[in-house]
Chains A and B, each alone.
Chain A
Amino acid sequence: KNQVEQSPQSLIILEGKNCTLQCNYTVSPFSNLRWYKQDTGRGPVSLTIMTFSENTKSNGRYTATLDADTKQSSLHITASQLSDSASYICVVSAKKTSYDKVIFGPGTSLSVIP
């Protein structure tokens, strides 16, 4: 069964600190993995996308890693800011014949406090 799990469920960190969010998936056949940031009550916004051959992708203070062998990804946030408070969603796509099946993780809720 195609599944995406994320940990921790929620996280509170001090402003300026780093943090790492985890994503484990059992999606097959793998197409790509995305990390989205969703502010409360807003639509998700894409942070990074990685395919099978990519193991690191950066977007400013956000760095995503992918280990396709262990089916794990992480999102590292450096020097956190108050505006980083949001839900971070791992999304994995499985290849189908004419379209990709997209499976959303439950998200990690991050709170950055002063």
Chain B
Amino acid sequence: DSGVTQTPKHLITATGQRVTLRCSPRSGDLSVYWYQQSLDQGLQFLIQYYNGEERAKGNILERFSAQQFPDLHSELNLSSLELGDSALYFCASSVGLAARYNEQFFGPGTRLTVL
């Protein structure tokens, strides 16, 4: 158990809908990262937040957005869902901002299925 929690574990929805994925980082971790992993694909970095502020952006679509709240939990919002958005979405957390020695601890993931 990494100490990172994600809800829900599974989500099934229809095209065009909007969903929200939630992540609670490990106690004391200020950075939260979101990743997408499609079937048989590698992990794709989406976005990083540090202490409530966006700090790095990866291959995140405009239909997707995220935020980190004052209690440090984070939400990833996915809208106008398409079939291709079906994937595992992982949240990770780390203590600090820079990844020099900051190990990222991954949550169990949310499996999103868009029908």
Which A residues have a C-beta under 8 Å from some C-beta of B? 31-32, 34, 41-46, 49, 51, 89, 93, 95, 98-102, 104-107
Contacts and interface: CB of A to CB of B under 8 A. Distances in A.
Contacts of B105: 46
Interface string B101-113: 1011111110100
Dominant SS at the B interface? loop
Interface size class of B (residues with CB under 8 A): 20 to 34
Interface of B: 2, 4, 41-45, 48, 50, 55-56, 88, 90, 92, 97-101, 103-109, 111
Dominant SS at the A interface? strand
A41 B40 CA distance: 11
Nearest to B48: A99
B45 A104 contact: yes
B2 A43 contact: yes
Contact of B97 (A93, A99, A107): A99
